[in-house]
Amino acid sequence: MSLQENVATFIREAAASEIVPRFRTLTAADIREKKPGDLVTTADLETERVLTARLMAALPGSVVLGEEAAAQDATRFALLSQEAPVWVIDPVDGTANFARGQAGFAVIVARIERRVVQAGWIYDPLGDVMVMAEAGGGAWCDGRRLAVAGEGEGTPIIGAAYGRAAPGERAAKRLEASGRVAAIRNLGCSALEYVEIALGRANFSLHSRSLPWDHAAGMLITAEAGGIAGFLDGSAYDPGIIDRAVLACAGPRSWAILREVVGSLL
């Protein structure tokens, strides 16, 4: 199998052994706060541990930037600027949903070289949906090449939006009030919001922060499915920048609407 296929297998197997058996079976001892409101569970920690070992073995000389390891040691962000290939892992994106026993979580893995995203994987373990992309090779799901939804004039615009457009005003509220989007559908899981765009079910995903484990894979998947992905200010996506608003869209129409209505995020 190719490296792309091997990584997909690693993710599926880690989810089957470490995440799914713990869904709705977590005890109080399995959940803690990294900081107020930011949860981590045993499933996050064990999935990251398993994937770290398997990914480094699959690509000798590579290193890993995992969300949970970075929470313990912020200097690990410097790995993105080194020469070695970097695996970026979000072991359970949507941990708050997972900890509550609610659907809406996924595993994210990206492979980055010299701060350029080369490949990305997003896996929904409950739906058994794997979406993956390689730079220049398209975005794929179960052997089917993916394409974002068309955006002809009058087509309803649906998506997710997080962050504040102005003091006291959330971006989602401003977009809803504008009358230019049909619905805001926040899933509490950026991974699944990128999957929705790649599968043609949504038009945009807007986030006020750009942490690489949340967005690197989704940025690439959106672009490889024919969409537009980058920073909200119009600059190209860089996984080494963590505090800038990111926007992924199915096409230029939704991108223009989001930029015009929201402007920038606080």
Domains of the chain: 3-145 (3.30.540.10), 158-262 (3.40.190.80)
Strand, coil or helix: 18 = helix
**What's the confidence (pLDDT) of residue 17?**
98
Alpha carbons 228 and 250: distance in angstroms, whole number: 6
Residue keyed to tokens 């995020």: 265
List, in order, residues 6 or more apart from 215 with CB less than 8 Å away. 190, 207, 237, 239, 246
**What kind and span of H or E run contains 226?**
none
**What's the confidence (pLDDT) of residue 1?**
81
**What's the confidence (pLDDT) of residue 25?**
98
Alpha carbons 215 and 254: distance in angstroms, whole number: 19
Say how many CA atoms lie within 13 Å of 249 toward its Cβ. Answer: 19
**What's the confidence (pLDDT) of residue 156?**
93
Alpha carbons 95 and 86: distance in angstroms, whole number: 23
List, in order, residues 6 or more apart from 13 with CB less than 8 Å away. none
Burial of residue 2 (CB within 10 Å: 0-12, 13-18, 19+) is exposed
Q: pLDDT averaged over consecutive 10-residue blocks of the chain (266 residues)?
A: 95 98 97 92 98 98 97 95 97 98 98 97 98 98 97 92 93 96 97 98 97 98 98 96 97 96 87
Dihedral sign for Cα 38, 232, 90, 22, please.
positive
Distances (CA, A) of 142 to 97, 148, 201, 226: 26, 16, 17, 18
Dihedral sign for Cα 125, 130, 134, 138, please.
negative
Alpha carbons 93 and 108: distance in angstroms, whole number: 7
Question: CB–CB of 190/214 below 8 Å?
Answer: yes
